[in-house]
Amino acid sequence: MSLVFLLRHAKAIWPTPSQKDFDRTLDKDGTEAAKILGLELKRGKLKPDVVLCSTAIRARQTLEYVALEPPFILQELEKLYSGGPDTYLMAIRMAGLEHEGSQSVMLVGHNPMMEEVAMALSGRGDPPIHPTFVSGFPTAGLAVIEFDEPLAEIRPGRGTLREFFSPSSHL
Distances (CA, A) of 91 to 2, 17, 146, 152: 15, 33, 17, 9
Per-residue confidence (pLDDT) for residue 129, from 0 to 100: 56
Per-residue confidence (pLDDT) for residue 166, from 0 to 100: 87
> Looking at this protein, which amino acid is placed at residue 44?
G
Per-residue confidence (pLDDT) for residue 141, from 0 to 100: 94
Asked if the model's pLDDT at residue 171 lies above 90, the reply is no
Q: What tens digit of pLDDT does each residue of 110-155 get?
A: 999 999 999 889 876 555 555 555 567 899 999 999 999 999 999 9
CA distance 19 to 134: 30
Per-residue confidence (pLDDT) for residue 132, from 0 to 100: 59
> What pTM was estimated for this model as a whole?
0.92
Contacts for 101 with CB less than 8 Å, ≥ 6 apart: none
